[in-house]
Chains A and B, each alone.
Chain A
Amino acid sequence: MTTRLSGRVRDQAATVGFLVLLVAFIGLVLVPGYRHADQLSADTAALKLASEQRGQPVAIAKSLAAIRDRLGSRAFVGQAVKDLRGAVQAFDQSLAQLRPSAAGTSADLREVERLWSDYRKALDPVAGFEGLPYRDSDSAGTQLNSRGRQLLQDTRQAINSSREGTDRLNTALSAIGTGLEQQVVTASATLRKLMITGVAFACLLVTLLAYFQWLKVRHERLAVEAQNQTRDILGTVKDGLFLLDADFRIGKAHSAALSALFRRDDFSGLTLEELLRDTVTEKTLATATKYVRLLWGERANEKLIRSINPLAEVEVHFDRGDGSRDLRYLEFDFHRVKGDHGVRQMLVSVNDVTSRVLLARELKESQAKSQGQMDMLLGLLQVDPEHLLSFLDDTSAALAQVNSVLKVPARGDGDFRTKIDQLFREMHRIKGDAATLGLASVEARTHAFEDLLQELRDRSQLSGNDFLPLVVSLDEIIGHLQSIRELASRADALRANAVLTTAPRAQPATTTIDAGPQDIAPSLDTLARRIATDAGKKVRLVTAGLDEVHGDIRRTVRDIAIQLVRNAVVHGIEDAGTRRGLDKDEVGLLQIQFKSGEQRFELVFQDDGGGIVPERLRETAVRRGDLSADAAQQLDTKASLALIFKPGFSTHDGNDRDAGRGVGLDFVLKAVHSIGGKISIATAPGKYTRFSILLPAQSGQQGAVA
């Protein structure tokens, strides 16, 4: 910018300099030169006159002498007088010519005029003589008459005057000549100097002209270069680029990519409206026109209205030529091009963003799908895993049944209708089961299947082909159940290992149902910490021997341990403040020990929490209506402690996800009994609670066989 500005200033200075030089050349050289040359010419002419005049006084003197001599010899004087008159007139004319010449102002000329004026007085009577000067008589012959005598007298007087006058006139005329010669010499010298100056000026002007020519050539070269570069840029750039003028017309230059974007080549002079008509909706076009008009105004902030650009991602349709239309997405961006007096033009860039838009759409759909799966996964987490598994198994069997019903060949309308009834029964049962478990996605699919069946049932005539949509729908349901089964296995793993909240990602093995035995301890630890954090408590879990748990009973041990950990953290361990007040370590301690024997396994679980107060258990049992107050009074400590294994029994007030439903210890007891084990409790209020569980070594193997 600065370089351009200084370049422009330099060019302007050169132009002004050139003009000043030209004016100076005219004023100082040409005009004076012309005047001097003119003067020189006048001086030369005057000099010539002066030198010619110098012979005239002598000629006058000779004429006078001739008149006198002729009068003496009584000869004819007419011609001589005529000559004199001519000479006098010639002198008069010369003087008249000298007067306006270069000598006009000289003192010498005035002297000549004065002398001539005096001389003229003597000459005039002679030169003005007319008639005959003689008188003829027989006696005396030819004699001078009175006029002749007068002429002779006048002539003699004139000759007297001429003796003095001729010399003086000649001297004065010589002086004029000398003065003029000097003037001519001076004028020549001045003219010479002016010519030298003129040549210098001319050289300077020629130099400047050469400079201007060089500048012009240079500008032209740069302009051509810039033009080529612009052409290269416009030919190469991937964006469609063009300029809009105030009438919304496209300028002469545009990028080559524009042709490919709009499938046409004639852009110059086209308006934005003409460019977009038939490719975007009327409303978009109207809004776009208003938007561009906003940009032409100064009020709207270009950056701050970009988000409302109606052509920022616009759907356009192009005729393919065969009647069909091609759908693309174009992105228009408008930039003000500002000049000294506001917005001059609008630079418009256009890009084809179809793939980007489609990709974003795909991404959104895939996100929605993932979200759907996540929702389903979270839903599955609410369902009891055993119920879910048995539902899946039953449903698989039922669907297999549906499939075989569909495949049975049917001959008449009655057969088809029987088929429909069978299918309805099977599908309705699945739908009922799904509804019971809250599996909305399965319910919706089976419902849709029933809708198809109902439609068939309503038909007056049926054929085998009418059942084809059912096969497709069945396939879809089977696929969906398969994905539920996969999700369920993940949900089960999540539930078991408490990965839902804080499990480190570095232990992916914990997300499978058949996790290795060594994984029980870390997942229990994670669970204990998560529950403790939720309950505002601090705990630490110490385990021993869990890595020895046999594969056959691993699941049972883990399920039992999960419930005991939950129970201990929620009910047993006090919060940090209470523990400090009781002079205990503010971090509660949970211990799990597993011992393998030949006949049996022993699992011991102990916490150092508040212990179980039998009195409180009895109070709860009475409040729940399990026992009468009297019956409660009669329970001993052992019987009181047994209350905690009753289904739905809980001393916890809340109903959060970790405790409060009264399912936990009931579940533990059932799990232990189911494999022929035993469970016993030892507790000291304010100190500890210990569950000792004995599991027969055989049972696990039996379970594995079963």
Chain B
Amino acid sequence: MAANAPLLTTQLKLLIVDDSNVIRRRIERCQQIEHLEVVGLAANGVEAIEIFRRTDPDVVTMDITMPRMDGIECVEQLVAIKPHVLILIISALADKATAVEAMEKGANGFLNKPFSDRQLNEALEELIGGA
């Protein structure tokens, strides 16, 4: 908790990972958290890790079902690179066991697809402020 307190006062970097271009744009457009700045958009896990190493984001929104490397494996790798990264899984909740597995790999929260702008903003605020 203490580690997150200073985060609130500084600019946070956000990486958006989703294989749907529409969803990526949607998240980019509707997230309106004051201290959150989008530093990258990735369409799969491999791309996400490449951009993650380059931009060192603090917050990541992550899809589960993606080509090349899925969200669960990607979460595991991102947490290995940066243990304190905050990860919000954004996925259609078909199977809770899969969602729980993603959390076990180190994600911090889950947002169900489809989501409203308000739900996204609230989830991101909760992620940043209440982790």
Contact = CB atoms under 8 A, between A and B. Distances in A.
Interface of A: 283, 286-287, 290-291, 293-294, 299-301, 303-305, 307-310
Contact of B103 (A283, A286, A300, A303): A300
Contacts of A304: 88, 108-111, 123, 126-127
Interface string B80-102: 00000000100001001101110
Given A304-B126, A305-B103, A310-B97, 15 more contacts: A287-B96, A287-B97, A290-B100, A291-B96, A293-B104, A294-B100, A300-B109, A301-B109, A303-B109, A304-B111, A304-B123, A304-B127, A305-B109, A310-B96, A310-B100
Contact of A290 (B104, B111, B130): B104
A291 B100 CA distance: 6
23 contacts: A287-B97, A299-B106, A300-B103, A301-B127, A301-B130, A303-B126, A303-B130, A304-B88, A304-B109, A304-B126, A305-B103, A305-B109, A307-B93, A307-B112, A308-B93, A308-B99, A308-B100, A308-B103, A308-B110, A309-B96, A310-B96, A310-B97, A310-B100
Interface string B50-94: 000000000000000000000000000000000000001000010
B7 interface: no
B80 to A, nearest CB: 14
Nearest to B97: A287
A307 B107 CA distance: 14
Contact of A294 (B104, B111, B126): B104
A315 to B, nearest CB: 13
A574 to B, nearest CB: 41
B33 interface: no
Contacts of B5: none
Contact of B110 (A283, A307, A310): A307
B8 interface: no
Contacts of A291: 96, 100, 103
B131 interface: yes
Contact of A301 (B93, B104, B106, B108): B108
Interface of B: 88, 93, 96-97, 99-101, 103-104, 106-112, 123, 126-127, 130-131
Contacts of B127: 301, 304
Contacts of A290: 97, 100-101, 104
Contacts of A308: 93, 96, 99-100, 103, 110
Contacts of A293: 104
B45 to A, nearest CB: 20
B111 to A, nearest CB: 7
Contacts of B106: 299
A238 to B, nearest CB: 26
A291 B104 CA distance: 8
A286 B99 CA distance: 13
A286 B112 CA distance: 21
6 tightest Cβ-Cβ pairs between the two chains A and B? A304-B109, A308-B99, A287-B97, A310-B96, A301-B109, A290-B100
A315 B99 CA distance: 19
A301 B89 CA distance: 12
Nearest to B110: A308
Contacts of B131: 299, 301
Which among A291, A300, A307, A308 has the highest number of chain B CB atoms within 10 Å? A308
A304 B128 CA distance: 11
Nearest to A304: B109
A291 B130 CA distance: 19
Contacts of B99: 308
A287 B88 CA distance: 19
Contacts of A309: 96
Nearest to A295: B103
Contacts of B111: 304, 307
Contacts of B101: 290
Contacts of B104: 290, 293-294
A22 B100 CA distance: 60
B107 A300 contact: yes
A310 B127 CA distance: 21
A305 B99 CA distance: 9
Contacts of A305: 103, 109-110
Given A301-B108, A304-B88, A307-B112, A294 B96 contact: no
Nearest to A306: B110
A294 B100 CA distance: 8
Nearest to B106: A299
A196 B128 CA distance: 68
A178 B88 CA distance: 97
B62 to A, nearest CB: 13
A577 B131 CA distance: 60
B36 to A, nearest CB: 16
Contacts of A287: 96-97, 100
A442 to B, nearest CB: 36
Contacts of A294: 100, 103-104
Contacts of B103: 291, 294, 300, 305, 308
A403 B73 CA distance: 66
Contacts of A310: 96-97, 100
A299 B108 CA distance: 6
B129 to A, nearest CB: 10
A303 B130 CA distance: 9
Which among B97, B126, B127 has the highest number of chain A CB atoms within 10 Å? B97
Nearest to A309: B96
A303 B123 CA distance: 9
A301 B126 contact: yes
A304 B126 CA distance: 8
Contacts of A299: 106, 108, 131
A307 B93 CA distance: 9
B97 to A, nearest CB: 4
A309 B93 CA distance: 11
Nearest to B124: A304
Nearest to A301: B109
B116 to A, nearest CB: 14
A473 to B, nearest CB: 38
Contacts of B107: 300
A303 B124 CA distance: 12
Nearest to A290: B100
Contacts of A283: 97
Which among A283, A286, A291, A300 has the highest number of chain B CB atoms within 10 Å? A300
